[in-house]
Amino acid sequence: MKINYQRLFISIIIPLVLGGLVAILTVPNSGIESKLPGWVFMVVWSIIYALMGVSCYLIYQDTLEIPKVYITNLIFNYLWCFIFFRLKWFVFAFIWIIILFFITLKMIKEFKTVNKLAGNLQIPYTLWLIVAAILNLMYII
């Protein structure tokens, strides 16, 4: 398969830029003390968003469409930040991230039917969602 570097770059940069924008709009001055050093979140989310972009690129190359489950996942992901950091609805945010976890599992399953690598690239994201859910839960109990 020939790599379209421009399309790959766009596929990676969109979730990275949107994720960065959401972080800028939600995290600073939220008054929420992090359980982990801030740099950890920046590094992990940058890697996750890049992997999401690569996955989307691989799927698009095979199907010529952006999967709805991918768009849904990004929307749920970004909205969680507003629910958690801005609204401070920790219980609702926990429920939201559990739903996001299952959306991600569905995304992996759908991606794997088209391109196994695209699905497997979402495993770190799934594992990080478990960590994020546990951190979220710590604000409830």
Residue 70's domain comprises 5-138
Q: Which of 134, 140, 141 is nearest to 36 (CA)?
A: 134
Question: Could you list the mean pLDDT of each consecutive 10-residue stretch along the chain, which spans 141 residues?
Answer: 93 97 88 82 95 98 96 97 96 98 98 98 98 95 87
Whole-model pTM: value is 0.93
Q: What is the pLDDT of residue 126?
A: 98
User: What is the count of structural domains for the chain?
Assistant: 1
Q: What is the pLDDT of residue 76?
A: 98
Q: What is the pLDDT of residue 15?
A: 97
In the DSSP assignment, the letter for residue 86 is: I
> Any idea which residue has 């995290």 for tokens?
27
Q: What is the pLDDT of residue 16?
A: 97
Q: Which of 134, 129, 7, 22 is nearest to 58 (CA)?
A: 7
The HSE-up count of residue 74 (CA atoms within 13 Å, CB side) is 24
What CATH number is attached to the domain comprising 104?
Answer: 1.20.1260
CA distance 141 to 120: 33
3-state secondary structure of 27: coil
> In sequence order, what are the residues at sequence separation of 6 or more whose Cβ sits closer than 8 angstroms to the Cβ of residue 89?
83
